[in-house]
Amino acid sequence: MAQIQQVLYTGKTHTAGGRSGTSRSDDGRLNISLTPPGAKGDGTNPEQLFGAGWSACFIGAMGHVAKSLHVALPTQTTVDAEVDLGTGEGGYFLQARLRVNLPGMEPRLAQAIVDGAHRNCPYSKATRGNIDVQIALV
């Protein structure tokens, strides 16, 4: 397992009540209600939060790869994340799909950027070999 040599940032949150509770960050920028998937209410759930974090990080990783290739990401770059919570033998599990859109970019270059981002994105590294992940360039 790779070890961090220099911590760049530590995100700190406090959660109470689990999937029917609240979560807030120490700096107050995040302050949300949580609801179980599919439940009525205004809250979000961990799967949505994970998808939002991973897709934001993935776009950042694509930016680093693009810069190393001396190209710019399209301004309309998007990543749609789907994170499934399900059951199987042994309990609950996650699986995920990322749909990456790099509009106007030549397909081979776009695929190289997506592949490089998946190799380097910290969320991709954390999930690699742990959950089923599909990444598609759309």
Q: Where are the beta strands (DSSP E) in the chain?
A: 13-16, 22-25, 31-33, 78-88, 91-101, 132-137
pLDDT interval class at 2 (50, 70, 90): confident
Write the DSSP symbol of residue 20: G
Residues near 125 by beta carbon (within 8 Å), at least 6 away in sequence: 2
* Structure confidence by residue, pLDDT tens digits, 6-57: 999 999 999 999 999 999 999 999 999 999 998 988 899 999 999 999 999 9
C-alpha Rg value of the chain to the nearest Å: 17
Which domains does the chain possess?
1-44 (2.20.25.10), 45-137 (3.30.300.20)
Is the whole-model pTM more than 0.85?
yes
